Amino acid sequence: MEHFNLADHPHRRHNPLTGEWVMVSPHRTKRPWQGQVEKLPSETRPRHDPLCYLCPGNTRAGRAVNPPYEQTFVFENDFAALMPAPVAGEFSQGELLRAEPVQGICRVVCFSPRHDLALPEMSVAEIRQVVDAWAEQTLDLDAKPFIRYVQIFENCGAMMGASNPHPHGQIWATGAIPNELRKEEKQQEAYLALHKTPLLMDYLKLELAAGERLVCANSSWVALVPFWAVWPFETMVLPRRPVGSLPELAAQERDALADILKRLTIRYDNLFEAPFPYSMGWHQRPTDGEAHPGWILHAHFYPPLLRSATVRKFMVGFELLSEPQRDIPAELAAARLAALSETHYRQAADR
C-alpha cells in the first residue's frame, strides 16, 4: 500500500480507543494569529496562603477546617457534584425525554501542604504519596456497593477551570459508567475478542518500535503523544505491563510512575517557560463487578496551549459540529516535548 506524507497533507486519523476520528491539517501551522491572547499565570505563590481554603489549618469554603496536614491530604468535596444518598424512581416522557438518578462520591486530593508546589516541582517521593493516595482512594470507593467507576483527574491552571491555585486534583466516583469510558470499554473488548491481546499493549509495541511519538520512558511507564491526539501537546501515559487499575501497581511501578509524571510535567512547563495548564485523568477498569480483561490502565493529559503560553487551542465551529481538528502533527509535538530539558526552567534559572 502506498503511504502519503503525514507531515504535509491534510488527513484524518482514527482513534482505536473511541472509534472516532480527528482531522489533521499540518499546513495550517503557519497561519497568522489575531485571536484571543491569554494572561500569563502568576509565577510566584507563597508556601502558605492564609486565604487559601486548601492550605493546612485554613477554613474551607464549606466552613470545615483543614487539619495541619504535612503530606497528601484527601477530603470530601464541600460542593460535590454527586451525592451518595439513593433516589428512587425515574423520569421519562415518551422515548425522547429520559432521566435517571445517579449516586456518587466526590473528593478533593491536595497534592502537598505547600501552596506553591505543583507536580513538576514536587520531589519524586512526594509525587509517590499522590500515587498512593489515588490507589487507596480507588480501593476505598470501589468497596461502596453503588460505585461503578472511579474517575481520578486534575484540572491544572485557571485556563482549565481550576477554582483554586493550590495544587490539587479530584476524584468523582459514580454509580454509572460515564460516556468516554463506555466508548473505550467497547473498543477494547472488541479488540481483545478479535486479536486475543489488549489493544493498548499492542499499540504500545507499535509506538516503541516506531519511536517517533515517544516523549519519555522508564522501566515501567511510557509517555507519548498518541497518533490520534486532538489537543496540540496531548499525551498519554501507558504501563509496560498489562495492569487494569492503580491499586494493582507494585511498589516499584508506583515509584516509576511518580518519576514519569515529574519528567513529563517538567517538559510541559519548560515548553513555554511558564506554568503549563492541562486537564489530566486516569482511565482505569470500571468497578461494576465485570472482569474487563482487555482494559489497560492509562492516563490522558489534555493541555490547551497551542503556540505560546498565551495562545490556546479552541474547540469551536467545525470541531463542535463535525469532528476535532488539529494543526500540529503528533510527531512534531512529541519531538518538541522529547527534546526539552528534564530540569525545571525555574531551577535552571536559579543555578
DSSP secondary structure letter of residue 22: E
Q: Do 78 and 62 meet the contact criterion of CB atoms below 8 Å apart?
A: yes
Q: Which of 310, 349, 303 is nearest to 328 (CA)?
A: 303
Please state, in angstroms and as integers, the Cα–Cα distance from residue 200 to each residue in 35, 78, 133, following that order: 37, 36, 25
Give the containing element (helix H, strand E) for 214: strand 214-217
Instruction: Name the one residue in this structure whose C-alpha cell is 520512558.
Output: 217
Catalytic residue (choose from 115, 166, 168, 292): 168
DSSP secondary structure letter of residue 248: G
All residues at 6 or more sequence positions from 333 whose CB lies less than 8 Å from its CB, including other chains: 225, 229, 232, 233, 234
Q: How many Å apart are CA 291 and CA 30, to the nearest integer?
A: 48
Tell which phi-psi region holds residue 138, choosing left (phi > 0), alpha (psi between -120 and 50) or beta: alpha
Q: How many Å apart are CA 288 and CA 282, to the nearest integer?
A: 17
Please state, in angstroms and as integers, the Cα–Cα distance from residue 105 to each residue in 86, 91, 142, 236, 252, following that order: 12, 22, 11, 26, 30
9 is catalytic: no
Q: 313-339: string of b/e by CB count within 10 Å (b at 16+)?
A: beeeeebeeeebbbbbbbbbbbebbbe
Q: How many Å apart are CA 168 and CA 174, to the nearest integer?
A: 20
Q: How many Å apart are CA 248 and CA 282, to the nearest integer?
A: 14
All residues at 6 or more sequence positions from 54 whose CB lies less than 8 Å from its CB, including other chains: 60, 66, 108, 110, 115, 164, 166, 168
Positions marked catalytic: 168
